[in-house]
Amino acid sequence: MTVCEYRAGLEGIPATQSSISFVDGQRGILEYRGIPIEELAQKSNFVETSHLLIWGKLPTKEELENFEQEIRLHRRLKYRIRDMMKCFPEGGHPMDALQACAAALGLFYSRRALDDPAYINAAVIRLLAKIPTMVAAFQLMRKGNDPVQPRDDLGYSANFLYMLNEKEPDPFAAQILDVCLMLHAEHTINASTFSAMVTASTLTDPYAVVASAVGTLAGPLHGGANEEVISMLEEIGSVENVRPYVEQCIEKKSKIMGFGHRVYKVKDPRAIILQDLAEQLFEKYGVDQFYDVAVELERVVHEKMGHKGIYANVDYYSGLVYRKLGIPTDLFTPVFAVSRIAGWLAHWKEQLNENRIFRPTQIYTGTHAAPYIPMSER
């Protein structure tokens, strides 16, 4: 075995072999099962893309109808899960609520029949179907309202917006959200997916796998960045403040949210599509007050940091899109989870196919044979 040098954050070290997605960070390419993201964003929808990711191929018409129908049938939450949610503090972060709810599913479906295709299928359907309902239910419950029941006649994204806002959405808004969900559905071995794979490798249940991934996605260096982007744009406030803000960040060596990526050294292809979606929304519903600030910030960051390969990432424009869709800021990351569930499930299945428990090594930097110092001498 070749012993590799230690690389912080495992940068550049392959953690698995996978055929789910591909990223070329120099050329700005992202493909799901070989299909470019731009093509999927134009021609597919989130449910079909989830099928592609999880089952490895585009579904036939009949397969897609069955898949959609099964998801529609499993959208409801057990009343005990809703009762559990009633006890959550309304000031708690929705990602924490989602993590608790995902883990709680394991209490109800505790069998770990990981060699039974029917069990795998049921878990895939249940998680894809129920995660959006959990996010929407927490949103209404923290406002003191009863959650609304999912509507079987609405598509995936339309139903999600309906459950969040208690009114049927404009089909255009639902379609834009659907594209956002496709764009966020999968992205090779990022932190949350790696977390899902490590958990999956112990052969625990899929609800524990998803709960660990949700917890990982919540951090501000990962999925949580889209929330931080909005706070940052609000803090900057106006176009004139952009340049001093960037200069200050450079001086203090602080991160500018929504920029930089471990893999992409050009503008993230998803950010390009999201910026276009944001502009389509602004044309129809009016421009966001911070869009000018965002565009100027991207220009100045490019000028000052482009040489280091720091460009807008997926989180930069997604917040502006979600805001226009009426989604509250602290739900941006849960919406990311609603989408990324497809990628996590695809990696869970792939991990099970050729499983070996993750057990990396370490480079010990501590002391040896140290004396035990009695309490009185410390």
Q: Which residues bind ligand ACO (CB under 6 A)?
A: 9, 190, 221-223, 225, 255-262, 308, 310, 313-315
CB of 257 to ligand ACO, least distance (A): 5
CB of 332 to ligand ACO, least distance (A): 11
CB 233 within 8 Å of CB 227: no
CB of 340 to ligand ACO, least distance (A): 9
CB of 254 to ligand ACO, least distance (A): 7
Question: Could you give the CA distance from residue 331 to residue 338 in angstroms, rounded to a whole number?
Answer: 10
Tokens 């390969």 sit at which residue? 309
Question: Could you give the CA distance from residue 289 to residue 102 in angstroms, rounded to a whole number?
Answer: 35
CB of 190 to ligand ACO, least distance (A): 6
Map residue 312 onto helix, strand or coil.
strand
CB of 274 to ligand ACO, least distance (A): 12
End-to-end CA distance of the chain: 43
Nearer to ligand ACO, 202 or 248 (CB): 248
Q: Which amino acid is at 78?
A: K
Nearer to ligand ACO, 148 or 305 (CB): 305
Judging by beta carbons within 10 Å of its beta carbon (0-12, 13-18, 19+), is residue 80 exposed, middle or buried? exposed
CB 150 within 8 Å of CB 163: yes
User: Would you name the residues annotated as active-site residues?
Assistant: 261, 315
Mutual orientation of helices 117-142 and 79-86 as an angle, nearest 10°?
Answer: 40
Nearer to ligand ACO, 33 or 261 (CB): 261
CB of 258 to ligand ACO, least distance (A): 5
Where does 25-170 have alpha helices with state H? 37-43, 46-55, 61-73, 79-86, 94-108, 117-142, 156-165
Nearer to ligand ACO, 205 or 315 (CB): 315
**CA-based nearest residue to 197, from 71, 353, 339, 314:** 353
Nearer to ligand ACO, 190 or 275 (CB): 190
Q: What share of the chain is helix, strand, coil (3-state, %, to 5)?
A: 60, 5, 35
Nearer to ligand ACO, 126 or 184 (CB): 184
Nearer to ligand ACO, 183 or 325 (CB): 183
Residue 235: in which H helix or E strand, if any? helix 225-236
Question: Could you give the CA distance from residue 278 to residue 290 in angstroms, rounded to a whole number?
Answer: 12
**List of residues 6+ apart from 93 with CB closer than 8 A:** 218, 330
Question: Could you give the CA distance from residue 290 to residue 369 in angstroms, rounded to a whole number?
Answer: 59
How many Cβ atoms are within 10 Å of 163's Cβ, its own excluded?
A: 23
